[in-house]
Structure 1
Amino acid sequence: MWTKRTAAVLAVAATVLAGPNCPPLGPVFEKPYNFNTSSAMQSAIANLTAMLTAWDQNNSSAIRSNTTSYSIEVFSTSRDQPLVFSWHHTAASLLAPPTNSSNNNGTSRRVGVAKTDANTVYRLGSLTKVFTVYTWLAQDGDTKWNDPITRYVPELAAAAERAKQEADPVANVPWDEVTVGALAGQLSGAIRDYGLMGEVSQEFDRSQAVGLGFPPLSKEDPMLPPCGQWPQCNRTEFFSGLLRAYPSFAPFTTPAYTNTGFQILAYALESIKGKSFESMMQESLLQPLRLKHTYYRNAPAEEGIIPGNNPSKAEWAYQLGDESPAGNMYSSVSDISALGRSILASTLLPPVLTRRWLKPAVMSSELIAGVGYPWGIRRISLPSYGANGKRVVDAFNKAGRIGYYSSLLVLLPDYDAGFTVLIAGEDIPGNANFNLADVVGAALVPALEAAAREQAEAKFAGDYVGDAVGGSSSLKLTTQSDRPGLGIENWVSNGTDMQTIAVVLQGGYAPVNPSIRLYPAGLETVRKDGSRKVAFKAVLEDLNLPARDPAQSMFSTDCGTWVSFTGVTYGTQPLDQFVFEVDARGAVVSIENLALRAVMKKRR
C-alpha cells in the first residue's frame, strides 16, 4: 500500500542490478529476421556444419551414417530468408550400385532416388498427426473441441449408453466424457492401437507367442483381432474390437499416446463435413500450400528414398488403411518446412486460432515436458542469462517412425522458426531423430535468441526525448547479453525518477533496486502506408528480492511477474505499457508511455 513513509524513502534506491529478471511467457525481443547479418547465426551455422560433417564421416552410433540417410532444414517465416540452413546426407550403402533388385532383363536396377535432396520423399509415421489436426482446424476450427466425440461418431454414442448400463468403468471407456480435444491432445484414456501396431497375435504365430510366455488364444476368442496388419480392419471391425478393449485411464487423467484417437477424429470430421478425410486434407492443406512432394497414401517409389533398395522390407508401400490419419503419410523436408512456416505465419488459420493451437493441452510427469494437439512440448531453459534472468522457450515437436523411416518437426514460435528432420535407414537407432534434434537445437536456439537481441539493439536501443505535461521526459533503451528484453534506463518524467516511482508503486514498498525491461506484447497495428504501431509490456521489478531455490521452495517463487501486469494505472491507462511508432522502412521513430501520455522521439 502507498503511504507517506513510502514516499519519504523513494529516493533510496540501489544502483547495482543483482537479482533475476522474470519475463512473461513468449519472445523477449522482436522475432529475428536478420539471419544473413547476424554474427550469432553465422557462427551457429558454421558449428552445425562442422558437427554434421564429423557425424557423416565417422559413422557415429548416434545416427549410423554409413547406412542412414537424412535431410535437415532450418526454416523461418522471414520473406528474405525462409530457408536458414539445409543439410542432406546420403548413406554409403545407398550410393553403392544396387545388387538385389532386377528389371525385366535381369540386370540390377535402383529403386527410388540415388541421392537425397530437399524434394526426396520419406515416410513420416506419426508426424502425419500434425496434418490431421491441421486439416480439422482448417476445415472446422476448434469450436467443437469441447464437444463430446459421441456427438459425431454414432458407434461411440451407442457404446457410451452400454457403458452406463453396465456401470463398469474399469472395463469401458466413458466415451461421452471424451471430447474432440481430448482425442487430439492424447487425453482420451483409450488404448493406443487396435489390431495393428503392438498386437503380438498379429506379429507372431500362435506357437511363437506361446514361446514368448503368452497363453494360447483360440480362433473363437472375441478378443483376438481378426484384422489389423493384414487384412486391415474396416470401420465396422475397428469399432467392434476397440469397444471390447479396456481403457488405459479415465479421460483427462494423464496423457497416454493413442493412434486410435486420430482415426476417430477423421471419422468425426467426415461426419461433420460430409466429405472424405483425404479429400479435405487435399483441399485444406496440400493444394493451397503447394505441397507437391506430400502424399496421404501410395507415394511413387521413384520420388522416395528406399533403404536397402527393397521397398517391401522398408515398408515403403505398406498402408495403414483407416488408421492412415495417425501415421501413413509421405513427404519431403522442403514440404514439411513449408507446412511449419504456414503454421507459424497463420497462412491458413486466423492468428488467434494458431495461438490457441500452440499451447499445451496438459503437462506431463516430466517437469520440462507437456503435450499439445498433437505436439510434444519441451521447455528449454536458456543458460545465456545465467542467474540474471529466467527465460524459457517452448518448442512444439512431433516425431514419427514407420518401417525404415523416422521423422521430426520442431516449431519455435518465439522466433517464428523451426526445423525438420527426415531419416531413412535399415538400422536407424531408436532415438535418431531426437539425437539430430539435440545437435541442431543446441546450436540453433541460443543463436536465435542472440540474433533477436542483436536486431533489437540495432533497432530500438538509444535515447528518446520528448515533452511531457508540465516538463520534459526522456529515457534510454539498452540491451544486455546477460538479461532478457529491452532495458529502460534514466527514465525521467517532469523531472522525476520514474524508474524508481514505477517499481515502488507496483510493489507498494520501498526502498527498491528498480529494474524495468520491455517485452513484445503481441499487439501491432499495421497502416496502409506500411508504418506500424507496436506495443511492448514492461515488467517492473525490485531486484533486491531474494532468489528462490526451487528445491527449498515448494510454493514460493521468484518468477511470478505474470500476476502484476497493469498493476498501476493513471486515468485508466497502464504505467507498464509502451507503444513504439515504426515507419514504413522499419525504423523506430518514437516511444510513448500510455499512462504518462508522453511521446518521446528517438534521437538519430
Structure 2
Amino acid sequence: MLSSSLHKCLLALATLPACLAATNPLHCPPLGAVLPAPHTPSTNDKVKQAVQGLDQAMGKLTASLNFSAMSISVKSVHEKVNLFSKSYTPPTVDARSATKIDSDTVFRVGSVSKLFTMLGVLKLPGIDLNDPVTKFVPELKEVQEMAEADGLSQFRWDDVTLGALASHLSGMGSDFATDLSNFPQPWQKLGLPAANQSLMIECAGLLGLRPCNKTDFFKSFGHHPPVAAPFTNPAYSNVAYSLLAFVIENVSNMSYDAYMHKEVLDPLSLKHTSTGGKPPVNDSQGFIPKGDIWWGATLGFEDPAGSYYSSANDLLTLAEALLTNKLLTPVQMHKWMKPLTSTSSTGTQLGAVWEIYRSDNLTSDQRFIEVYTKSGDLGSYHAQIVLIPDYDLVFSITLGGNETSGGMAQEILSAITTTLLPALETAGKDEAAKTFAGTYSDNSTNSTLTLKIDDGPGLVVDKWVMHGVDVPANYHSFNALGSMPANIPLSIRVYRTSLKSDKQWSWRAVFEVGLAAERAKHDAAVFWAKGSCVTWGSEDRIVYQHKALDEFVFDVCDGTASGVLPRIFQTKLRRTA
C-alpha cells in the first residue's frame, strides 16, 4: 500500500485544494469534456508544479522498495514527449533480470492482456458483440451437456454473447486451472471430501504441472456450475477471454499469436510486447524479482486473458493509438468506450474490458470525470493502462515485486489522476481563454456575444444580444407550449461537443435556470445523487426551423475560433476581441 508520506506529499500539492473546494452545485454540464483538452500542457506552470510534486511523491514511495521495481509513463496525445516518466531499479534483483529499469523494461502485465484480446475481437470482420458465442465456438453446446441437469449447474451457452463475455456478464466462473485439487495439499484436513479422479484437471502451467490446452477445457469445464445467470450480476472471468481468443482463431483462421501480431502488435511496433508463453526479449531486458516463479510461466490456453509481457512505453503507445484512432474508427472507439454494467462499487462501472472509475472530486466544479482503465495482476507483477478522454491523457504503470502488492498500482493511478487533472483543468482553461473566449460581433445586425472563462465549467455567456434583442433577458419567452416566469435567475454556459470538422466545431449551451439553493432542496428530497442534474434530457429543446437555441457553431482555424454562428438566429458573428 502507499506510504503515509506519499499521501502527505500529495495533499500538500497546491493543485489539490482547488480541486476539492466547495462550489456552486447549480452547474450541470453534459457528461464528458467541457473544454478542448490542453494541447501544450507541459508549458503550463500549474502542470509543471504538479509534475514536480508527483515526481517527489514517487521518489518517496520507491525509497522504501528493496526488491521491487516500477516504471510509469504519462503523456498528452497532443505532445511528442512524455509529460511524466519515472522508473526505479531496486538494489536487489534476480540474477536473470535487467539491472537498470527504464520505460522499455519488460514486465508481466497480467490481465492487461485482456485489452489486447478485446481489441483483436473488435478488429475481426463481421463480428457483432450481440452474437452468441456458440455461433463461433459451437463445441460449447457439447460442454453444456456435461453438467448435472438440476437447473443450477448447466450453463446455457446460447444465451451468452460476445459482449457478455467481454463485460464479465456471462455468469461463468473466473478460472479453470486454479482448481485446488490440482495441487498436492492435505485438503481433507480442511474438511473437503476426497478428490474424484474423474474430475481432476491435472494441468495449470505452474508448480510442475503442464499448461492447460483447449482439449483440457472442453473435456471438463462443463462440470463447472455458473456463478449467475447471463446479464445479471457481473462476475470477473478469465476463462471468458480465453473463449474470445477461440473466437479470434475460428474467425480469422489464424493462430491467436499470429493474428494479434498482424492486427495489433506489429502495426504499432510493440517490440517489447508478447502474447504470453515466453517474453519478447532476453531475460536481461525484463525485470525479474529475486526468486520469482512467474517470469517465463505460461497459462496455456488462458494466456490471452493474463499472460502478456509488455513495457510501460508499449502500453503507452497502445493507449495513445486508441485515443487517436490509429486502430479503430472514431465510431468504433466511441461505441467501445462505454459502460455496460454497474458494480457494487458506486464509483466503478464495467465496459467490454474496461474498468471505469467515475469521480466528482477531481475538478473544482465537481463534475463527473470518467477514467478508463484495465488493470492486471500476475503473481508479483501488477500493471495499469489508463485513458482519460476528457483530457486526452494516457498513462501506464508497470510494477514487479512482492512489495508492490496490496493495491499499490491502483493507488499510484489515483495519485497521478488527482495530482495532474486539476492542473490540466487549469491548462485547458488558460488555452480556451485564448482560443475561444472573447467577444464576437456583427455590427450590421446589432448582434454581440461575449464568452468568458471563470471558475466554473466550460465557457460562460457574459453578454448575448441578437438583432438588438437581449437573449438571456428574454429566455422565458422562447416557449410556445407553456409558461415561464420572467426575471428568473439564469446562467448560460457553453460546452464543446464531439461534432467537429476541419474548420467548424459545434458547441452546446446549458441554460441553468433558478438558484443553487432550489436545486439543493430538490436534491435533498430525492434518494439518488444529483437528482436535479438532468442536462441529458434538456438539450435541443428550444428549436426554430430545425435550428436549436443551444447550438453554437464556431469557425476554427489552427485550433482558434475566428467566428461563431448561434444556429437558431442564422447570423454569423466575427471575433473582435
Q: Which residue of 2 aligns with 1:132?
A: 117
Q: Which runs of 5+ in 1 are unaligned?
A: 1-16, 60-64, 99-109, 527-531
1: distance between equivalents of 2:180 and 2:272? Answer: 34
Q: Could you say if the C-alpha distance between residues 548 and 376 of structure 1 is closer, same or farther in structure 2, counting changes exceeding 3 Å?
A: farther
Alignment of 1:131-170 (within 5 A): 131-140=116-125, 143-160=127-144, 168-170=150-152
Report the 3-state secondary structure (helix = DSSP H, G, I; strand = E; otherwise coil) of the residue aligned with 1:430: coil
Aligned to 2:72: 72
2:551 paired residue number: 577
Name the structure 2 match of 1:565: 539
How far apart are residue 581 of structure 1 and its match?
0.6
User: 1:462 is aligned with what amino acid?
Assistant: G
Distance in 2 (CA, whole Å) between partners of 1:124 and 1:77 is 23
The 5-angstrom pairing of residues 30-41 of structure 1 reads 30-41=36-47
Q: CA deviation at 1:268?
A: 1.3
> What's the counterpart of residue 211 of structure 1?
189
Match of 2:10 in 1: none
**Residue number in structure 2 paired with 1:13:** none
Deviation by residue 1:517-536 (Cα, 9 ceiling, x = unmatched)? 1111111111xxxxx11110
1:40-79 equivalence runs, <5 A:
40-57=46-63, 59=64, 65-78=65-78
Distance verdict in 2 for CA 1:418–1:348, change over 3 Å: same
> Residue 485 of structure 2 aligns to which amino acid in structure 1?
A
1:515 is paired with a residue of what secondary structure?
strand
* 1:193 paired residue number: 175
**Are the structure 2 counterparts of residues 549 and 410 from structure 1 closer, same or farther at C-alpha, using a change threshold of 3 Å?**
farther
- State the alpha-carbon separation in 2 of the partners of residues 503 and 48 from structure 1: 49
The answer (yes or no) to whether the contact 1:33–1:81 under 8 Å persists in 2 is no
Partner residue, 2:224: 245
Q: Which amino acid aligns with 2:259?
A: M
Secondary structure of 2:297's counterpart equals coil
The answer for the alignment partner of 1:535 in structure 2 is: 506
Q: CA deviation at 1:403?
A: 2.5
Asked whether the 8 Å contact 1:20–1:390 carries over to 2, the reply is no
TM (norm. structure 1) is 0.86
Query: For 1:97-136, what aligned pairs fall within 5 Å after superposition?
Result: 110-136=95-121
Q: Show the 5 A alignment for 1:544-555.
A: 544=515, 545-548=518-521, 552-554=525-527
> How far apart, in 1, do the equivalents of 2:50 and 2:98 lie?
30
Q: 1:129 to 1:486 in 2, by over 3 A?
A: same
Match of 2:239 in 1: 260
Counterpart-to-counterpart distance in 2, 1:240 and 1:543: 65
Equivalent in the alignment of 1:6: none
Match of 1:83 in 2: 82
- Alignment CA distance shift 1:155-1:447 (3 Å): same
2:210 to 217, 227, 231: 231
Q: 1:538 to 1:272 in 2, by over 3 A?
A: same
| Gap change, CA 1:575 and 1:560, over 3 Å in 2 | same
Identify if the C-alpha distance between structure 1 residues 384 and 408 changes in structure 2 by more than 3 Å, giving closer, same or farther: closer
Q: Which one of the candidate residues 559, 565, 568 is aligned to 1:592?
A: 565
What one-letter code is carried by the residue in structure 2 that aligns with 1:53? G
Q: Is the 8 A contact 2:397 2:409 kept in 1?
A: yes
Pairwise CA distance, 1:601: 0.9
Contact 1:477/1:486 (CA < 8 Å) preserved in 2?
yes
In the alignment, what sits opposite 1:414? 390
Offset of residue 158 of structure 1: 3.2
The CA deviation at 1:537 is: 0.9
Q: Say whether the 8 Å CA contact 1:539–1:576 is kept in structure 2.
A: yes
Of stretches 426-435 and 355-364 in structure 1, the one that deviates more from structure 2 is 426-435
Greater Cα offset, 499-508 or 399-408: 499-508
CA contact under 8 A between 2:212 and 2:299: conserved in structure 1? no
Q: 1:178 to 1:504 in 2, by over 3 A?
A: farther
Give the match for residue 522 of structure 1.
Answer: 498
Q: In the TM superposition, what is the alpha-carbon distance from 1:329 to its structure 2 partner?
A: 0.5
In the alignment, the residues of structure 1 paired with residue 229 and residue 354 of structure 2 have an alpha-carbon distance, to the nearest angstrom, of 21
1:526-575 C-alpha deviation (Å, 9 max, x unpaired): 1xxxxx11110111120324225756412682100111111011111111
Q: Indicate the SS of the match to 1:243.
A: helix
Cα distance in structure 2, aligned partners of 1:600 and 1:364: 47
Q: How many residues are aligned here?
A: 543
> How far off its partner does 1:505 sit?
3.0
- Stretch deviating more after TM superposition (546-555 or 329-338): 546-555
- Report 1:215-364 matches (<5 A): 215-218=193-196, 220=197, 222-229=198-205, 230-297=209-276, 298-299=278-279, 300-308=282-290, 310=291, 313-364=292-343
- Cα distance, 1:543–1:74 mapped onto 2, change above 3 Å: farther
Cα deviation digits, residues 411-459 of structure 1 (max 9, x gap): 1011111211100114432211112112111102222222211211121
Question: Could you say if the C-alpha distance between residues 56 and 231 of structure 1 is closer, same or farther in structure 2, counting changes exceeding 3 Å?
Answer: closer
What is the SS of the residue equivalent to 1:598?
Answer: coil
Distance in 2, matches of 1:441 and 1:250, equals: 36
State the secondary structure of the residue aligned to 2:555: strand
1:477 corresponds to which residue? 451
Match of 1:446 among 422, 441, 448: 422
Indicate conservation of the 8 Å contact 1:314/1:426, yes or no. Answer: no
Residue of structure 2 in register with 1:398 after alignment: 374
Partners of 2:129 and 2:102 lie apart in 1 by 38
1:449-474 Cα shifts (integer Å, max 9, x gaps): 22211211121111111157xx3110
Cα distance, 1:53 vs structure 2? 1.7
Residue of structure 1 aligned with 2:27, choices 13, 21, 42: 21
- In 2, Cα distance between equivalents of 1:327 and 1:356: 24
Match of 1:432? 408
Q: Does 1:463 align with 2:439?
A: yes
- Whole-Å separation in 2 of the counterparts to 1:52 and 1:233: 39
Instruction: Report SS of the residue matched to 2:59.
Output: helix
Per-residue CA deviations over 1:17-66 (Å, capped at 9, x if unaligned) read 96511011110101221112222211210110111122223x1xxxxx22
Give SS of 1:581's match.
strand
Alignment of 1:175-194 (within 5 A): 175-194=157-176
CA contact (8 A) 1:503 1:514 kept: no
Query: What is the rounded CA distance, in whole Å, between the counterparts of 2:38 and 2:447 in structure 1?
Result: 30
CA 1:465 to 1:72, structure 2 compared with 1: closer, same or farther past 3 Å? same
Contact 2:117 2:304 in 1 (8 A): yes
**CA apart distance, 1:603:** 1.3
* In structure 1, C-alpha distance between the alignment counterparts of 2:223 and 2:541, rounded to whole Å: 55
User: Which residue of 2 is the match for residue 14 of structure 1?
Assistant: none
C-alpha change, 1:160 and 1:290, in structure 2 (3 Å) is: same
Contact 2:97 2:289 in 1 (8 A): no
Which stretches in structure 2 are left out of the alignment for 5+ residues? 1-22
| Aligned partner letter, 2:572 | V
Q: Sort the Cα spacing of 1:215 and 1:160 in 2 relative to 1 into closer, same or farther, 3 A.
A: closer
Find the structure with the greater CA-based Rg.
1
- In 2, the alpha carbon distance for the partners of 1:283 and 1:503 equals 59
TM superposition shift of 1:157: 2.8
Indicate how the Cα distance of structure 1 residues 362 and 454 shifts in structure 2: closer, same or farther if over 3 A, else same: same
Q: Give the 3 Å change call, closer, same or farther, for CA 466–126 of structure 1 in structure 2.
A: same
Which amino acid is the alignment partner of residue 363 of structure 1? S
> How far apart, in 2, do the equivalents of 1:503 and 1:285 lie?
54
Cα distance, 1:414–1:503 mapped onto 2, change above 3 Å: farther
SS at match of 1:44: helix
Secondary structure of the residue aligned to 2:245 is helix
In structure 2, the residue corresponding to 1:418 is in which secondary structure? strand
